[in-house]
Amino acid sequence: MTEALINHISRYISLPEHDAGAISGYFTPLSFRKKENLMAAGQVCRNHYFVVKGCLRLFFIDEKGSEQTIQFALENWWLADYTSFSNQKTSAFYIQAVENSAVLAIDVHKQEQLLAQFPALERYFRIIHQRAHAAAQYRQQYTHDMTREEMYLHFAQSYPDFVQRVPQYLLASFLGFTPEYLSEIRSRNRT
């Protein structure tokens, strides 16, 4: 199961073959059923998750009691509440499986040990976080500049598999509109 992770790391840094086993040993393989919580608000985000199969999401429950999704993670994506994970303080977020999912988990102490033993992985995680930081900069522009319909079309074009896989009510919540409005947009743009 760690093969997916080793392959992903190898896309960004060159990894001597004999390191793969030792790196894999730091991770715990876990399985979650669809809609199962990996973490709930009020808990500390104990683990950093790498998705081997399935899909996770990070969300919070707003003042009206609605779930607001702010990040998804498909295969080969990482997910954590990074504030809570780094400081081991309480999180305001939930992490939940969108589909039945197989993940690799590593806690913050083991991650520090891993990085101490294999400092080359700092580069791998630097690239992962730099990309997420870059995406957050442009997301702010899209949110401001695009109509909701444009947001959906941009998203559907950039991540076609994702739009097919994720349940419509979650996609709608992520893009900030109602499921009814999403289904209107979809039928308008179907050719």
Query: 101 — phi, psi (to 5°)?
Result: -135, 145
How many chain residues interact with a second copy (CB under 8 A)?
A: 35
Q: Tell whether residue 40 is a contact of a second copy (CB under 8 A).
A: no
Among 33, 92, 113, 160, binds a second copy (CB under 8 A): 92
Q: Tell whether residue 119 is a contact of a second copy (CB under 8 A).
A: yes
Among 26, 72, 93, 94, binds a second copy (CB under 8 A): 93
- Interacting residues with a second copy between 147 and 186 (CB under 8 A): none
Q: Tell whether residue 62 is a contact of a second copy (CB under 8 A).
A: yes
CB closer to a second copy, 32 vs 85: 85
Say if CB 93 and CB 60 are below 8 A apart: yes
Task: Provide the minimum distance between the beta carbon of 129 and a second copy in the complex, in angstroms, as a whole number.
Answer: 4
Question: Where along the sequence are the contacts to a second copy (CB under 8 A)?
Answer: 58, 60, 62-63, 68, 70-71, 81-83, 86, 92-93, 115, 119-120, 122-123, 125-126, 129-141, 144-145
